[in-house]
Amino acid sequence: MADAGEHPPLSPARGEPGPGASFGAGLRAAAPIMIGYAPVAIAFGAAGQAAGLGAPEVIATSAVVYSGASQFLMLTALGSGTALPAVAALCIALNLRHLLYGPLVMARLPAAAAVRFLYAFSLTDEVFASTLARSGGGTLPARWLLGLGAGAYGAWVAGTALGVFVGDALAREAPAAAAATGFALPALFLALAWLNVTRATVAPMLAAAAASVPFAVVGRSGLALLAGGLAGVVVAWAQRRFFRKRRASPQGAGEGRTRP
């Protein structure tokens, strides 16, 4: 799914829904997310179809998993014969960032457990960003939150169904175009990687990519992802340790330099 940073933060006065904000207002607030989700969901539907999954299975994946990166990971890993427990573990690892979202928005949600648990199902990167952008001070209305989540979810599942239909029609009518849908998955991961690059993540991400390539060459997808994740965490740890040392001893940081 798209980068959470693409939605500009709204000032509370302009963007925060009032206490009586309706389900429909939540749906309208989801419109930018829906527009962003549609092409990726269509690409997933077409890629699932191209991978040999049936229409009900592809649509059920979007309806039940509802996580773009996990779903594409699932297609890649299951398609190459990775064992289900390993795929599930990789999906959990990929989604660990979600653990951060709940604590950040919790104070703004209604206290009712049912609302929180329903909202949690829809807590994608983009729904989190939209909720946070509307967090001015008070509790957000339950109906508005559920409308926001339902709009994003509906767009994702409907887009997947459309992708399945389009993918099937393409395979019959235009095989060249159908072959192009196979490009959707690498393009999506390239895009997600691009959007995740920061000064802090670039070295771990390069290490992860380098560590996974040898396993990818021999077709071991599960090992490639495990090696990549491990390499990234180790390099990030080394990076933090190195920079902390530099901050702790600024004199040492300039050693070896011949000029200021």
Please list every residue from 34 through 53 that binds other proteins, using CB under 8 A. Answer: 36-40, 43, 53
Whether 122 and 149 have beta carbons less than 8 Å apart is answered as: yes
Whether 108 and 15 have beta carbons less than 8 Å apart is answered as: no
- CA 131 – CA 155 distance, rounded (Å): 17
CA 7 to chain centroid: 15
**Least distance from other proteins to the Cβ atom of residue 168, Å:** 16
Residue with tokens 């040999």: 52
**Least distance from other proteins to the Cβ atom of residue 251, Å:** 24
Contact pattern for other proteins over residues 106 through 125, marking x by CB under 8 A: x------x--xx--xx-x--
> Which residue number, 74 or 148, has a Cβ lying nearer to other proteins?
74
Whether 194 and 206 have beta carbons less than 8 Å apart is answered as: no
Whether 228 and 209 have beta carbons less than 8 Å apart is answered as: yes
Whether 43 and 167 have beta carbons less than 8 Å apart is answered as: no
Buried b (16+ CB within 10 A) or exposed e, 132-159: bbbbeeeebbbbbbbbbbbbbbebbbbb
Using rule CB under 8 A, residue 201 touches other proteins: yes
Stretch that binds other proteins, among 13-21, 68-76, 137-145, 245-253 (CB under 8 A): 68-76
> Which residue number, 22 or 39, has a Cβ lying nearer to other proteins?
39
Out of 67, 130, 131, 135, name the contact with other proteins by CB under 8 A: 67
Q: Phi, psi at residue 256, to the nearest 5°?
A: 90, -15
Interface with other proteins in residues 206-235 (CB under 8 A): 206-213, 216-217, 221, 224-225, 227-229, 231-233, 235
Interface with other proteins in residues 171-190 (CB under 8 A): 174, 176-177, 179-181, 183-190
- Amino acid identity, position 61: T
Out of 10, 55, 60, 161, name the contact with other proteins by CB under 8 A: 60
**Least distance from other proteins to the Cβ atom of residue 185, Å:** 6
> Which residue number, 29 or 53, has a Cβ lying nearer to other proteins?
53
**Least distance from other proteins to the Cβ atom of residue 39, Å:** 4
